[in-house]
Structures are given as structure tokens and as C-alpha cells.
Amino acid sequence: MLGERAKLNPERRRLAERAARTARLVAERNRRAMALDDGSVAERVAQWRSERP
């Protein structure tokens, strides 16, 4: 959406580029985190479920 704004007002381009770069870094980090998931959360949830009275 900041990209759309930058089309209307070129002064906004730097801000839009910064936002896009941040989005790219966050998306890359999240995808990497998903790929490296070691299953420990699911294991811990299963353990707590089994302990439930």
C-alpha cells in the first residue's frame, strides 16, 4: 500500500522501499523458521495434553 502511495507521490518512494525491504526480511525469516521447526512445540503440547486430568 505504501508502494501504491509512492506511485502518487514520488517523495514516498524511500519509505515504501524501506517497508518492502522489511517485509522481505520478515517473510524470509518466518519461512526459514518454519523450515527449521524441530517439532518441540507440538511435542510439548502433546505432553501437556497427556498430563491433563
Can residue 45 be called a binding residue for other proteins (CB under 8 A)?
Answer: no
Contact map string, positions 1 to 40, toward other proteins, x by CB under 8 A: xxxxxxxxx--xx-xxxxxxxxxx-xxx-xx--xx-----
- What burial class does residue 5 get, using C-beta atoms within 10 Å of its C-beta: 0-12 exposed, 13-18 middle, 19+ buried? middle
What DSSP letter does each residue of 7-34 carry, written as one string? HH-GGGHHHHHHHHHHHHHHHHHHHHHH
Can residue 44 be called a binding residue for other proteins (CB under 8 A)?
Answer: no
Q: Which residues bind other proteins (CB under 8 A)?
A: 1-9, 12-13, 15-24, 26-28, 30-31, 34-35
